[in-house]
Structure formats: structure tokens, C-alpha cells
Amino acid sequence: MDGELISVGTEILLGNITNTNATYLSEMCARLGISLYYHTVVGDNAGRLTKTLKQAWARSQVIIITGGLGPTQDDLTKETAAEVLGWKLTQDAHTKKRIENFFKEHLKIQDVKKIPENNWKQAMVPKGAQVIDNHNGTAPGLILEQDGKSMILLPGPPGEMKPMFEEAIYPYLRKRQPEVIYSQMVKICGVGESQVEADIQDLIQKQKNPTIAPYAKTGEVHLRITAKAKDEKEAKKLCKPLVRELKARFGKNIYTTEEKKTLEETVVELLADQNLTLATAESCTGGMVAARIVNVPGASSVLKESFVTYSDRAKRKRLLVKKGTLAKEGAVSSKTAKEMAKGGCFTSGADVCVAITGIAGPDGGSKEKPVGTVFMACCYKGDINVREFHLSGNRSKIREYSTVNALILLRDTLLQNFKKK
Amino acid sequence: MDGELISVGTEILLGNITNTNATYLSEMCARLGISLYYHTVVGDNAGRLTKTLKQAWARSQVIIITGGLGPTQDDLTKETAAEVLGWKLTQDAHTKKRIENFFKEHLKIQDVKKIPENNWKQAMVPKGAQVIDNHNGTAPGLILEQDGKSMILLPGPPGEMKPMFEEAIYPYLRKRQPEVIYSQMVKICGVGESQVEADIQDLIQKQKNPTIAPYAKTGEVHLRITAKAKDEKEAKKLCKPLVRELKARFGKNIYTTEEKKTLEETVVELLADQNLTLATAESCTGGMVAARIVNVPGASSVLKESFVTYSDRAKRKRLLVKKGTLAKEGAVSSKTAKEMAKGGCFTSGADVCVAITGIAGPDGGSKEKPVGTVFMACCYKGDINVREFHLSGNRSKIREYSTVNALILLRDTLLQNFKKK
């Protein structure tokens, strides 16, 4: 099935907001096996919106439109879509009631008369459209079917659009697809993006069904394997050999095959499984590793504490780094990283401590230790793993890569230890 | 001048990457006073790309195209653009030399014969085009002028596109604009987005020249004031009364009128100006406040250290929070936040300490203290400011808002003290 996305909103054309709806919907359509050929962004302008909708309707089977469903006069999407298809608007009693309830529950307005008049515009729907309830706002979603094609209208705020898509649109589109689509995620860490691409070049070249699509994230690469078949069982079966092949090629660098699991979650799980507690000792990352760990709900059961020891004094006082080490080797050195990790375990009483010290720039670099030089150490019950990095990019890139690499070092240390036991 | 953006790349249509180029270029065009009416994303497909370019060329004066300039066979943008305008491709000697040098310097390939053959494709340019050097990659940028219109081709990677735009395209477009555009930023913190919008409703309604555009960021609102005039002096003069009016309305909630200054930078500056040192004591933010401070180059001069005290034990040990306070009031309480801030100053020796403790969810909420309850305290030489928040959203939203609000509390405390002196 061919499709396209249309985002309506002058705020996107002005650069006020990034069109993340398009990213989300594109990934969803890829999962559904819908081939998207175009994204278009158009402002809240009747003439240009009409032209855009007509063009899309002429060339695509599924059109997903976001934005322009609000209560103001600027919001034209529903009216324009109805006009393009030649449909009439009519008041939907169910939606009117839902909007009333929404105001009562969420906005504490009990008196219907006090609801701003323009909100009732949102209860007007093209006659014959399928109405999708919005549990997080007032504007309903709409599906308009004609000549075997579908025009799907969704509100612009991601917090309203995404739940509606997941609840109603995804199942609707899935039914419309003649075949079943199944997809499986393989998440890789510790291998560079270009290396992963080179390693799977042959698989990509001969791909057909299933397909394989790489998504580069900071310090990680996610591979999505997608198969089409007559039923889910068949599709899963098609994916299996490819997933097995990837496991053979990337081994322990695959940290999960679960869609929603993050790197920090796998680290927290490894710690919890082994009943271990964690501390972090951070210099150039300044708390970013701890912040990633705290991303995981329930991190409190494993994270003992963290030290951001940006100054030499704090490195000495909190982490017992030796004065001589700082003087002789410098704050950014393998030896300092080691002592930070060891000291972090000792002073917090945690079983494991990961330490990061580096030069994130723009200043502070030297010939021997240029900007991007980062040392990391992970102490596990006295054993210490050390790694040295030479990262490129600006200050924030260097700090982001350092953070991911610290999580990878932690994971590797925990896996090593897991094996020993 | 009317314009539109076209992004070429199947990876955007698959949702592999978000089209942040469009956001950046839209904001730049708004600053230049170019009215963008459409963004289009199209895949690496000759037929669809040709249709898209023809349509854009027929309706817009400036077309900015990103992506599809690389060395592979999939990269079709330059070839298609030349064909649409009826131009021939020719080898550009200067670009060929630049690519050679790029391989020598950046990729350490000294022998020209070892440069992969397909790279020379990038030295082919439409005859008569203005060639823009790429200092961060191989593909050059191109400007094609015809019938008073401009087609601008730029590489897709933001790290190559942005520097080229700033160096060459921005000045080029600026010259093409009959009038001068001047814009001034006003950054506001501590006032909600809808409140700011309500407060400037009258200014937006009567806006003409200058215009005023709000950009909502997490916990902040940025207002861009843009004026058109025959020269910069005149344009600046037009902006002045509006900026003055905004200063009167938002007062000290305006933290800067500088384009690139961040909230954390103003905090670090306030600390440095007063010769003060900082510590942070973080529970639910888990190091995010420290990480924001460390974003600022040179933060080492003010940040003494930070404590992520996620456990009660760490709160007691590091920050001297009293056992009784934790037992009676709970870890998430005004009293605990106060003791954390005070303890943070005492144990680190810093002049100022900001402390954050809250329930970020999804678990841990109760009837009295639901998810989103956050207490913050800022201790300045014994004086303590405390704030209570009831934030909504998911775990990461609550933590992000807490982080910004901690920076705002810090700023307010420092301003208060500044006045006293």
C-alpha cells in the first residue's frame, strides 16, 4: 500500500517546532509495510492546503494528516478535507458529550455554558467519517474512506496523536494491509555505525523479505528486521534465520532484541540480577551517566550514589585520588580514572563503580592530550577495567559519546563477571 | 521572497532519522524574511524527485534542497536538478582538487589512485553553477540561478550543511533580499508557555513590522522579534520599542536577549561574577542539573562538586540529612530538600547548593504526594529558598522540568543576593 504524510502548521514552516510526528508516523508505517513516498508540511492556509490534499488524494492510497484540528479559526484541516472529498460536516453527538466530559474532568469546568464557544467546532465531523475518540484532548481523530482510499486526520500534539494512532489507527491500517507485517529489533552497542553497515552489506544487498533497516543512535545501532507474510507465525518464521545470522555476527554486542528496552535498562537489570549496587564517579560527563541510570524506573534499587567530581579537590576528597597521581599523570589519565573508580566503590560502599575523566573542550586540550581524550575505568570488587577514547565532535557530542561508552563499559564488566560465576 | 524546502532521502521517509535540517533551515529563512510555504520530503527516486523539483520551481523563488549529493548511485539530486533546469554537468577542477586534499588530510589517503572511483562523481557540477566549498566533507554545495530564481543544493549531513549555510548561503540570500532583516531574541524563564502567549496576545494581534514569534522550549519560552527595513540601523530601531515593552512586561523573567546564550550559561556567569562556587544535591534529577552546568565550557571554575543521593543512606551520609526528617517527613519533602541544600554547602564547602527531591514515577506516588511532586531548595550562605512543584507528564518530562526549574531557582537566588550587595 502506498501512502504519504501531510503535516499542517505554520509553526513547523517557521522552524518553531521540529516535525517529530513525521518521524514517529514514518517508523509506524514502515512497521505496517506501508510505503511512504512523500512527507509534506503546509501552513494553515486554505488554498495551499486544498492543493496539497488534492495532489495527495490523486496519487496515494493512504494519507495521514496531522494538525489543524483545533478550535480556532486557523484550524482548517477538517473543513478542507471534507471539501476536497465532497463531504458535508455534521455535529457528532457522541463527540460533543466527550468534549463536555473532558472539560469537566480535566479542566474542572462543570457548567457547560462556560466552555468557550469555539470548542463546539470540534464536534463537527464529515458525515460518514469514522470518529476516533481523543482521550488526551478535545479534537477527535477522523477516518474518511472513499474509492478504496483512506484519509486519516489526527490532532497535531504528539501527546494526543500517538495514543490515538496506537489505539485506533494502527489496528485499522493493519486490517487494511492484505499481508501481516512482523518486525523484530536487534540493538547493537560497542560497534561503530559504519562498521555495522559494512558488516551487513551483503545482507542488505540481497534483502527482500525480510528487509533489514539500520537506525543510527548515539553510540548504538538499531537494526529493524521486517517480514511480510500471510500470518504472524509465517512472518516470524521468515525473520528467524536473519536474526540468528545477526546474533552470530555481532554476538555479545547485541544488548537486546526487545523493541523498547534501552541500554541503561539492560545495565540496571544486570546489576539487579546479580544483586549488585552501583556508584558513578564523573568528571567530564558531569552527572550524565547517573542521569541515564536514573532514567530507568526503579533505579533506586541499584544506584547507591554518584559523585560529580569536577575539581581536583573533589576527586581527592570524595574519591581518594592521590595528590601525586593528579600532579604526575594529570586529572585526565588512565591512573586517575582507575583511582576514581576504586575510590568510588570504597567511599560509597557500592559493588561496582564506573569513573569517567576526559577533555570535552573547547579548551583544555594539549598536544599529548587533545580535546576528545577520555579515560574510563570500571571497578568491580577490586578488579579494574580501563579504556581510553579519542572522540571527535563538539563538547556535547564528546560528552554524549562518553556517557554511552561508560554504560557499555559497565555492561561489559558485568557480563565478564557473570561468566566467571 | 517565497521559498520552499525539499529534503531528499529515503531514510527520512522510513523514520530512520528526524528531519532536523528542515527545522534549522526554517528558522534561518524566518530570520532572513523568506516566507516558506512548503517542506517536502521525497525519496532517492528519479521520477518522484523530478516531479517534486518541477512543482517547486514553478511556484517558488528560492528552493533549498538538502541530501542526495553523495558519491553513490542512489544520490540523484544534482543530476535531477540539472535536468529539470536543462543544464549540463561538467567536471569542476577546483572541487576535484579539494576532494583530493580532503582525502589526504582527513582520511590519510595520500595516493590519489586509492580514492574510491565513485567520489569523483562529486566533482561534477552543473555548468554555470556557483560552487560552495564543503570544509567538512566531499560533496560541494551548489547555487543554480535562472529566471531570477535560485535553486540551492546542500549536502544532507547537518555537520556539513549547517557550516555551509552559515558561511555562504545565508550571506547569499541576505543579498538577494531587497530589504534588510534584523532579529532580536528575548528568552524568558519561570513563566509558562500559555501564560506568555496570553500576555503577548495583544502584541501578536497587532504585529506587522516587527513581528513576534514564540518558540516553546522545555520550561522556557523564546520570543523572536524580527523587523524588515532598508538598512540594519532602521531595522534595529523598529525592534527597540517592542523589546522595551517585553522587558516591561516580563522583567527579571527575561534571562537574556542574546541569541546563543543558554539558561545554564547565565547561571554560571552569575556565579563567576560574584566569585561564588556551586554544588548540586540531586535525587530525582539524578545528575541532570550538574550535567546542564557542565554543558558550559569553563564550568570547572564554579562547580565544586555534585552529589547524586538517590538513596536515603546517601542523603544522610553525604548531605547530613537527619534520620528523623527522613522518617517523619519522608525523602520527598520540603524539610528534606532544605537539609540537602544546607548539607551540600557544608560538606562541599561551596557557597551555593541547589537540592532536588521528588517523585518522577511511574511508581512511588501516593495520595498525599502523587507522581510529579517535587521539592527544591537553594542554600546561599545559610539562607534557604524552597519551592514545591506539582508537575505532570511521564518520568522523563518530570525530570526535565525539574532540572530547568532548579536552574531557575538558582538564578533567582543569585539575583536576590546580587541586589542585596
pLDDT 10s per residue in chain B (421 long)?
A: 899 999 999 889 988 889 999 999 998 998 888 999 999 999 989 999 999 999 999 999 999 999 999 887 778 999 999 999 999 999 999 999 999 988 887 767 788 888 777 788 899 999 999 999 998 888 999 999 999 999 999 999 898 999 999 999 999 999 998 787 788 999 999 988 778 888 998 998 888 899 888 777 788 988 989 888 888 899 999 999 999 999 999 999 999 999 889 999 999 999 999 999 999 999 999 999 999 999 999 898 899 999 999 889 999 999 999 999 999 999 999 999 999 999 999 999 999 999 999 999 898 899 999 999 999 999 998 899 999 999 887 898 899 999 999 999 999 999 998 766 5
Which B residues in the span 365-394 are in contact with A, Cβ-Cβ below 8 Å?
none
User: With contacts defined as CB-CB under 8 Å, which chain B residues touch A25?
Assistant: 15
When comparing pLDDT for B71 and A47, which is higher? A47
Q: By three-state DSSP, how is residue A48 classified? A: helix
Is A314 in Cβ contact with B310 (below 8 Å)?
A: no
| 3-state DSSP assignment of residue A45 | coil
Which of A29, A308, A399 faces B305 most closely, judged by CB atoms?
A: A308
Residues of B with CB below 8 A from A43's CB?
Answer: 37
Cβ contacts (< 8 Å) between A294 and chain B: which residues?
Answer: 284-287, 308, 310, 360, 399
Predicted pLDDT of residue B129: 97
Gap from A311 CA to chain B (nearest CA, Å): 6
Q: What pLDDT is recorded for position A216? A: 72
CB-CB under 8 Å, A295 with B305 = no
Cα of B212 to nearest chain A Cα, Å: 12
Contact A37 B42 (CB under 8 A): yes
List the single residue in A with minimal CA-CA distance to B45: A37
d(CA B354, CA A379): 30
Stretch A51-59: mean pLDDT, rounded? 98
User: Which residue of chain B comes nearest to A43, CA vs CA?
Assistant: B37
Closest CA to B141 of B113, B170, B114: B170
Cβ-contact B130, B153 below 8 angstroms: no
Contact call for B12 and A26, based on CB within 8 A: yes
A23/B19 touch (CB, cutoff 8 Å), yes or no: yes
Q: What is the predicted pLDDT for the residue at A420?
A: 62
B288 with A287: Cβ contact below 8 A? yes
The residue of chain A with its CA nearest to that of B398 is A295
CA distance A35 to chain B (A): 8
What distance in Å separates residue A301's CA from the closest CA in chain B? 8
**Residue (of B358, B397, B398) closest to B377 by Cα position:** B358
Indicate whether A114 pLDDT > 90. no
Q: pLDDT tens digit string along A161-181? A: 999 999 999 999 999 987 877
Q: Is the pLDDT of residue A137 over 90?
A: no
3-state SS record for chain B: CEEEEEEECHHHHCCCCCCHHHHHHHHHHHHHCCEEEEEEEECCCHHHHHHHHHHHHHHCCEEEEECCCCCCCCCCHHHHHHHHHCCCEEECHHHHHHHHHHHHHHCCCCCHHHCCHHHHHHHEEECCCEEECCCCCCCCEEEEEECCEEEEEECCCHHHHHHHHHHHHHHHHHHHCCCEEEEEEEEEECCCHHHHHHHCHHHHHCCCCCEEEEEEECCEEEEEEEEEECCHHHHHHHHHHHHHHHHHHHHHHEEECCCCCCHHHHHHHHHHHCCCCEEEEECCCCCHHHHHHHCCCCHHHCEEEEEECCCHHHHHHHHCCCHHHHHHCCCCCHHHHHHHHHHHHHHHCCCEEEEEEECCCCCCCCCCCCCCEEEEEEEECCEEEEEEEECCCCHHHHHHHHHHHHHHHHHHHHHHHHHHC
Kindly list the residues from chain B whose CB atom is less than 8 angstroms away from the CB atom of residue A310: 294, 299-300, 303-306
C-alpha pair distances (Å), B206 with each of A169, A232, B31, B211, B328: 40, 58, 20, 9, 55
Inter-chain CB pairs, A–B, below 8 Å? 227
Q: Which of residues 48-107 of B touch A (CB under 8 A)?
A: 48, 52
Q: Nearest CA to CA, how far is B133 from chain A (Å)?
A: 20
Using the Cβ of B302 and the Cβ atoms of chain A, whether some distance falls under 8 Å is answered with no
DSSP classification of residue A302: T
CA–CA gap between residue B349 and residue B343 (Å, rounded)? 10
Dihedral-angle region of residue B86 (phi above 0 means left; psi in -120 to 50 means alpha; beta otherwise): left
- Could you tell me the three cell numbers for A301? 534499587
Residue of chain A whose alpha carbon sits nearest to that of B364: A298
CA-CA distance, B143 to B1, in Å (whole number)?
Answer: 17
Residue A190, phi-psi category: left (phi > 0), alpha (psi -120 to 50), beta (remainder): left
Domains of chain B: 2-176 (3.40.980.10), 180-256 (3.30.70.2860), 263-420 (3.90.950.20)
CA distance B131 to chain A (A): 26
Residue type present at position B277: T
Tell me the residues of chain A between 349 and 368 that have a Cβ less than 8 Å away from chain B. 360-363
| CB within 8 Å: B299 and A286 | yes
Q: What's residue B73's pLDDT? A: 76
Cβ-based contacts of B39 with chain A (< 8 Å): 12-13, 19, 39-41
Which of A55, A60, A310, A348 is the mutation pick for testing B, counting most B CBs within 10 A?
Answer: A310
Q: How far is A276 from chain B (nearest CA, A)?
A: 14
What per-residue confidence (pLDDT) applies to B421? 56
For residue A295, is pLDDT > 70? yes
pLDDT at B420: 62
Strands B180-189 and B220-229: antiparallel
Element (H, E) at A12: helix A10-13
CB A78 within 8 A of CB A124: yes
What is the pTM assigned to this prediction?
Answer: 0.79
* Residues 309-348, chain B, touching A (beta carbon < 8 A): 309-311, 313-314, 318, 348
In this complex, the residue of A23, A303, A318 whose CB is nearest that of residue B310 is A303
> Rounded mean pLDDT of A351-376?
94
Q: Do A314 and B293 touch (CB under 8 A)?
A: no
- B215 and A37 in contact by Cβ < 8 A? no
Model-level ipTM above the cut of 0.85: no
